[in-house]
Amino acid sequence: MVSPRYTVQTPVEPAHELVRKYNIPGPRYTSYPTAPQFSADVDRPALMAEIVADNRDASRPLSLYFHLPFCESLCWYCGCNTVITQRRASAGEYVDLLCQEIALTQPLLNTARPVTQLHFGGGTPTFLPPEEIDRLGRAINAVFTFAPDAEISVEIDPRRLTKAHVQAYRRLGCNRASLGVQDTNPEVQMAIHRWQPLAQTAQAIKWLRDAGYQSVSVDLIYGLPLQTEASFAKTVEEVIALNPDRLAVFSYAHVPWIKPAQKIFDQRNQLPSTEAKLAMLTAATRALTAAGYAHIGMDHFARPNDELAIAHDNGTLYRNFQGYTTRAGASLYGFGMSSISQTDGSFRQNFKDLPEYEQALKQGILPIERGFLLSPEDKRRRALVMDIMCRSRVDYPTLSSRLDVEVAATYASEIDSLADLEADGLLARDATGFDITPLGELFRRIIAMRFDAYLDRGPRKYSKTV
């Protein structure tokens, strides 16, 4: 039964004091534990044993991720793991490395497990010329078996796209695409070093639709230099007119200690205030819901008949490294530099630097830089954190039966610690659980942080939550 109660929420504008109070650094919880907890000192034999054990469970499908890191120029806000180059030969050399990694991984894999999800991210996946996309597709299809309804998606930079790229990824099976847009205002685009006329974005969407892609998503970012509530409202209006199936409206993550190019925004004093960011998000949410989009999780919007909206309503939404997804319960295999892989009991991440990634493969070893083995307690907290990030209600009896512990008693102190969030109207507790209110939607990360056992270990190097 689909409940419209949470699907199209009335946007609620929190008071500025509330935003100031809760706008603190925090994880985005695309995983729990989060990536900063992964360690090069992980017990590698135990990690490999976990991967082998995971492969015995044929009931778990596979999700694949390919990281294609090259970009021709750097967008100054970028937080991704990229390699900036105009050297075209890099593409073919990198596909060679990916083929080597697939070959090294294959003996570990039970390839009878169907692939239900495949994502090409970056970087700029269309840095690869069409013939290299085809070659990569052949290498993937030679090893993996795809479910008939597999979701195969690619990140598109409309500035670096040709019709031939669209067709090459379609030949590879892509049925979804997400387009980086960020902001349509020319002054903002100049300030972030990403010049992208709206007509170019419209052209990319037309090519994708003509080629048969079922779903086209647009990514926007609020909190960029020179943005104002009015300018961002215009961006949202212009993007709604392009009629995407989904939108992601991300908060700009300002982390200049990790991404030095972002320092220029501080030097030029161009970043909007927290209050202005909030006004942008509120206006965007209002415009998108008025245009008929359902608000999914913190930063995603989708047409109400989109499978993401349906999953949100029926409680099957999940969160992974690409954001919100409908494909829960899969083991993730990441390929390429910096990519992350996941089984039920482990994470592992490849080398973040291309030379190290390449060197490991040339030595015939898997390019794993660091990893993490989850304890039973980590898995229980992961279930709690994922429910907070993906559901409208955290229900103790349901979780208790899944986790084999009495949740209300085991996490009594964490639940007690929610009192101030409840007093501020972010959630409403009762004897068997708590509901996240429309006001709390913006602060899901803050609520989840109360159940994160690792927050106090080591310096917090996260972006702010609003």
Enumerate binding residues for ligand SF4 (CB under 6 A): 71, 74-75, 78, 80, 82, 122-124, 157, 180
Q: d(Cα 36, Cα 347) in Å, to the nearest integer?
A: 11
Q: Which is nearer to ligand SF4, 161 or 284 (CB)?
A: 161
CB of 383 to ligand SF4, least distance (A): 32
CB of 262 to ligand SF4, least distance (A): 12
Interatomic CA distance for residues 319 and 466, integer angstroms = 19
125/345 with CB nearer ligand SF4: 125
Q: Smallest distance from the beta carbon of 124 to ligand SF4, in angstroms?
A: 5
Check residue 273 and report its DSSP letter.
P
Nearer to ligand SF4, 85 or 175 (CB): 85
Q: Which amino acid is at 466?
A: V
Q: Report, in Å, the least distance between residue 252 CB and ligand SF4.
A: 11
**Between 271 and 283, whose beta carbon lies closer to ligand SF4?**
271
Return the number of the residue (14 or 125) whose C-beta is nearest ligand SF4: 125
In whole angstroms, give the CA distance from residue 311 to residue 317. 5
Q: From the CB of 237, what's the least distance to ligand SF4, in Å?
A: 23
Strands 323-325 and 318-320 turn out to be: antiparallel
Angle at which helices 163-171 and 130-141 cross, to 10°: 10
Tokens (6 digits) for 422: 């409840």
- Which DSSP state fits 154? E
Closer residue to ligand SF4 (CB): 3 or 195: 195
d(CA 425, CA 33): 27
Residue with tokens 């499908």: 61
To the nearest whole angstrom, how small is the minimum distance from the Cβ of residue 264 to ligand SF4? 14
Q: Which residue has the tokens 């010329």?
A: 129
- Find the radius of gyration of the CA atoms of the chain: 22
CB of 250 to ligand SF4, least distance (A): 11
Residues, the chain, total? 466
Q: What are phi and psi of 261, to 5 degrees?
A: -60, -25
* Cβ nearer to ligand SF4, comparing 75 with 128: 75
Burial of residue 320 (number of CB atoms within 10 Å: 0-12, 13-18, 19+): buried
Choose between 158 and 272: whose C-beta lies nearer to ligand SF4.
Answer: 158
Residue 191 or 447 having the CB closest to ligand SF4: 191
Closest contact distance (angstroms) between CB of 121 and ligand SF4 is: 9
Contact 234, 184 (CB under 8 A): yes
Which is closer to ligand SF4, CB of 217 or CB of 392?
A: 217
Q: CB 195 → ligand SF4: shortest distance, Å? A: 11
DSSP string, 181-237: EE---HHHHHHTT----HHHHHHHHHHHHHTT-SEEEEEEEES-TT--HHHHHHHHH
Alpha carbons 77 and 89: distance in angstroms, whole number = 26
Question: Smallest gap, in angstroms, from Cβ of residue 76 to ligand SF4?
Answer: 9
β-strand partners of 436 = 427
Give the phi and the psi of residue 429 in degrees, each rounded to 5: -90, 150
